[in-house]
Chain A
Amino acid sequence: MLTVIGMLPSMSRWMVTLLLLLACASHAASARTLEARIERITTTVATLDAVHVRLEWPANATEGRLSLTAGSIDAPDLGYHYRDLTWQCPLRREAGHWRCDGALRGGKAPPLQLAVELDAATTRASLRQGNAALTIDRRAATPDDTGIDLTRVPLLWAQALLSHAWEHGRFKSGTLDGRLRVRAPTAQPLQVTGTLVVAGAALETPDATIAGESLGGTFAIDYRKTPRRADVTIDGALRGGEFLAGNAYVALPATPIGLHVEASQDAGAGWQFPVIAWHDGSTLAAQGSAAFDARTDLQALDLHLHSGDVSPLAGRYLSGWLAVAGLTDLKLSGAIDADARIDKGRLQSARVALHGVDMADAKGRFRFDRLDGSVGFSSAAPTSSALHWSGGQLYDLDFGAASLPIDSGGGDLRLGAPVSVPALGGSLRFDSMILRPPTADAGADIRFGLTVEKLDIGRLAKAFGWPAFHGQLSGRIPNARYADERLQFDGGLTLQVFGGTVQASALAMERPFGVAPSLTADLALDDIDLQSLTGVFDFGSITGRLAGRIDALRLVDWTATAFDAELHTVRTRGVKQRISQRAVQNISSVGDASFASTLQSQLIGLFDDFGYSRIGISCRLENEVCTMGGLEAADTSGSEAGGFTIVEGAGIPRLTVVGFHRRVDWPTLVERLVAATSGDVKPVVE
């Protein structure tokens, strides 16, 4: 409806003529009816077709009845198109000017109240609906200028204007207040300038990928339009509201945000934004330019961002992306500068400079302290940067300060030199690393070589709340690759523990930072001192040497869910093979109190320890069931059919431990063993 009123002043030239004719006629004593059919009226703003004007003036009446219909009204520059409009009003002459005030109807929309006052010098038209009013002033002396006053005008009235600039944009609610001046000189650009106050604006695209709500602000506007080109400058402040575009969600603060945008569009082409400036206090200052193609796809972007205080950044600007990435409530502090350049729809270069940034995952998966320096990315020409942190944490493991020289070019990021990160009393040395950021076709791909140097297993154990293991972890992983949420390692690690070694190979992780992280490995144990091992687990004492394997070990959420294990003692010169009464009792007292009073337990209680010739046990864990076995080719003649020997005794008294149940419920087994090793269960028999 905006244009209906917009074009009325432009029509006034002929209307005034028409009315003057009528005025002459109205003085006549007899009733008159004047009728005009006009095929087309063309003004600088709008074109009216099939116009029909009819004025009835009964004899001696003080007012006439004006009826105006238009088959169509089109204002192509503003994007307004109407069909079948009717305006009916009583026409009267008051104090030297004409006035007509009546209902304007178009299609099925509720009628608007249109009032027009005009004389030879001025034209004034106002359109009202409820408490919304749009008033237009025009003077004959300045025929090209039109003043527009807006009072609580629904944004919906400007829908056609928006659609014209942005095909998919839809206003849902909001009001406009302010004053605009429209200049429409013949053969020169249409120009609209003025100040608008927007309140409670909501908009959305039909596919709902872009939406805004409760947006408000005050803006100075300058809009120029020729058939070939449109230019817009907006300068003002946004106040509150929220905005969603794809996964980006911006919750605007109550404090005003300075906004300056200059935009232009050539006919048939996309919008260009040569100047974009955004000023949100110390949280975010952005400057740059952007260009879209005719389908509103981003073609070019040159953006410089500065944040003097990044702590509100996550909640205000990044929450949408962080939530989708599973990093909700990321804690940030410090300051950053960032640059990004997109050309031909592709990221060409980007650089983030960090100034004392602390970053911590809300779920405690990682933390970086005092990040300084920068990370530069280039898809073409080489660039170098360096990043430094003073410490951090990965799950429960702390790591120390490190500096990363970073080279980039051709679309990836590389370590410029090996980097040592102190951790757990030793170090993790990254010999190389190549990171390829995610693209539209593929996710992120990281490859690295890692040397693990003398990590203290005691500290590792403490971090994970394990029993007090002691030893060292070293190894080399010449190639590791992370892609599709899977981390695969070539090479292996060696744990020096309990006087022996545990070799870990075929290491792999799935979803290392995601849901239910899993770790798989093959472990080979050799020359483990059983006395140290059982001492640590507080499960009684067994002396001897242990070897074996734990193949296809799979930890999910750091809990064992599958493995195929076989462990056995190895007779070693100079090493005694004894199992203590307590080791036996500790087992026997777990879960079966009745056994404590029986004869055999008391017989066991007579001895401090027992000699053994072999101990062996195997367990294949799958689907929460452990399929057990004992020593290979052991003598099980004394046991029940189907039993398997775990401990083969030696000397007197000769103790043989035979297992009967090959399929054991794993959670129960773990529960009991944990109770036994944590000292919750005390030996009952002395």
Chain B
Amino acid sequence: MTSRTKGSQGSRRWLRTRAFGLHVSTVALLAACVTINVYFPAAEAQEAAKQFVEKVIGDQGQPAQPSPEAPKPDTPKPESKNPGGMALEFHFDPLMLVGIGQASAQEPDFKLNSPAIQAIESRIDARFDSNLRDGFQAGALGFSNDGLVVVRDASKLGLKDRVATNAAVADDNRDRKALYREAAVANGHPEWEAQIRKVFAKQWIAAARPGWWYQDASGGWKQK
């Protein structure tokens, strides 16, 4: 999203978390009526990443479902709105007839809801339970500091599992890279990719279970 409406909830939340941004944005809004969002919406991105990560790590064996609390545009409403006056003038609203309502005006500033991202999420979620969770539990896998999964100690796995795990980790990292890239592009800022990676890396590590391994900022491995 490149524009920011004055009353949007997401905007308010973001502004609360960044007091300095409040002043700058408000001044900009009042002075020039130009709303430019050049900041990375860190709080929203973190919230979205947190939901994503908790869904993957949190519930074992559950396929990914669109998050119920994620704001969605209005669902279509079957009843027509004020068609009365149109009859005589042959005015009508085709979109209303198609049954499509107005999308919500209150959009958060960071979304992870494109079909491609949801497809990636389903795969990451399913793969985590079928191939990767045991590897983390065994200490063979770890979360890297750039948001990927790394085979940090293959000796913790049997030879057969090692081959399957190598493949699953390669597949997962392809999905993860695509996720971070698509999240940036879908939100209109390809240049956010690195920041989104960092946010996700932090969330994967935050959601890691006790005993799981992760890489700290300097690249060293630590056990949670």
Contacts and interface: CB of A to CB of B under 8 A. Distances in A.
Interface of A: 204, 206-209, 211-213, 242, 244, 247, 249, 319-320, 323-326, 328, 510-511, 514-516, 518, 554, 556-557, 559, 561-562, 584, 587-588, 590-592, 594-595, 598-600, 603-604, 622-626, 628, 638-640, 643, 646, 649, 653-665, 667-669, 672-673
A623 B1 contact: yes
A660 B96 contact: yes
Interface in B139-190: 153-155, 157-160, 162-163, 166-167, 170-171, 174-175, 177-178, 181-182, 185-188
B26 to A, nearest CB: 24
Contacts of A655: 90
A587 B98 contact: yes
A659 B95 contact: yes
A590 B97 contact: yes
Interface stretch (B12-20, B34-42, B102-110, B197-205): B102-110
The CB with the most chain A CB atoms within 10 A, among B76, B90, B170, is that of: B90
B175 A624 contact: no
Nearest to B164: A323
B83 A598 contact: yes
Contacts of B105: 663
Given A320-B166, A323-B166, A625-B73, A516 B159 contact: no
A598 B92 CA distance: 12
Given A516-B178, A562-B186, A660 B104 contact: no
Given A208-B153, A518-B182, A603-B87, A661 B113 contact: no
Contacts of B158: 213
A209 B177 CA distance: 25
B163 A664 contact: no
16 contacts: A213-B159, A244-B159, A319-B163, A511-B178, A518-B116, A590-B99, A591-B78, A592-B96, A592-B97, A599-B87, A624-B114, A625-B103, A661-B103, A665-B73, A665-B75, A672-B100
The 6 closest A-B pairs by CB, nearest first: A591-B99, A323-B167, A663-B103, A208-B154, A208-B155, A556-B116
Contact of A653 (B86, B90, B166, B175): B90
B94 A587 contact: yes
B134 interface: no
A661 B92 contact: no
A514 B170 CA distance: 12
B170 A323 contact: yes
Nearest to A212: B159
A324 B166 contact: yes
A595 B115 contact: no
Contacts of B75: 665, 668
- Main secondary structure on chain A at its contact with chain B? mixed
Contacts of B102: 660-664
B91 A639 contact: yes
Given A209-B154, A624-B114, A625-B107, A514 B174 contact: yes
Interface of B: 1, 72-76, 78-83, 86-87, 89-105, 107, 111, 113-116, 119-120, 153-155, 157-160, 162-163, 166-167, 170-171, 174-175, 177-178, 181-182, 185-188
A662 B95 CA distance: 10
Contact of A244 (B79, B99, B162, B177): B162
Given A209-B154, A623-B1, A656-B91, A595 B97 contact: yes
Nearest to A662: B102
Contacts of B177: 515
Given A511-B178, A591-B76, 6 more contacts: A207-B154, A561-B116, A592-B99, A595-B80, A657-B91, A669-B98
Given A244-B163, A518-B182, A660-B95, A561 B115 contact: yes
B100 A658 contact: no
Nearest to A603: B87
A247 B163 CA distance: 8
Most chain A Cβ neighbours within 10 Å, of B79, B160, B167: B167
Given A557-B119, A600-B83, A672-B98, A622 B188 contact: yes
A323 to B, nearest CB: 3
A323 B93 contact: no
A328 B79 CA distance: 51
Contacts of A510: 181
A253 B67 CA distance: 48
Given A649-B90, A655-B90, A660-B95, A324 B167 contact: yes
Contacts of B167: 320, 323-324, 328
The residue in B114, B153, B174, B181 that gathers the most chain A C-beta atoms within 10 A of its C-beta is B114
A53 B79 CA distance: 106
Given A515-B178, A623-B113, A249 B171 contact: no
A643 B174 contact: no
Contacts of B111: 623-624
B113 to A, nearest CB: 6
A643 B93 contact: yes
A624 B82 contact: no
B6 to A, nearest CB: 16
Contacts of B74: 665
Given A244-B163, A672-B99, A595 B83 contact: yes
A658 B92 contact: yes
A175 B157 CA distance: 23
Nearest to B156: A208
A665 B101 CA distance: 7
A623 B2 CA distance: 12
A208 B99 contact: no
B97 to A, nearest CB: 5
A209 B101 CA distance: 58
A665 B162 contact: no
Contact of B78 (A554, A592, A623): A592
Contacts of A639: 91
A515 B166 contact: no
B116 A557 contact: yes
Contacts of B81: 660
A669 B115 CA distance: 15
A557 B115 contact: yes
A97 B136 CA distance: 62
Which of B76, B100, B120 has the most chain A CB atoms inside 10 A of its CB?
Answer: B100
Contacts of A561: 114-116, 186
Nearest to B111: A623
B100 A556 contact: no
A318 B103 CA distance: 51
Contact of B94 (A212, A249, A588, A653): A588
A489 B154 CA distance: 41
B104 A249 contact: no
Contacts of A204: 155
Nearest to B81: A660
A661 B93 contact: yes
Given A323-B166, A323-B167, A625-B73, A658 B93 contact: yes
A638 B99 contact: no
B196 to A, nearest CB: 15
A668 B1 contact: no
B117 to A, nearest CB: 8
A622 B100 CA distance: 17
Given A244-B159, A622-B188, A658-B91, A515 B97 contact: no
B139 to A, nearest CB: 12
Contacts of B116: 516, 518, 556-557, 559, 561
B93 A249 contact: no
Given A623-B1, A655-B90, A656-B91, A594 B186 contact: no
Nearest to A511: B178
A639 B153 CA distance: 68
A518, A592, A653 pick with most chain B CB within 10 angstroms: A592
Contacts of A518: 116, 182, 185
Contact of A206 (B82, B155, B171): B155
A320 B90 contact: no
Contact of B175 (A319, A515, A603, A640): A515
Nearest to B109: A623
A511 B116 CA distance: 13
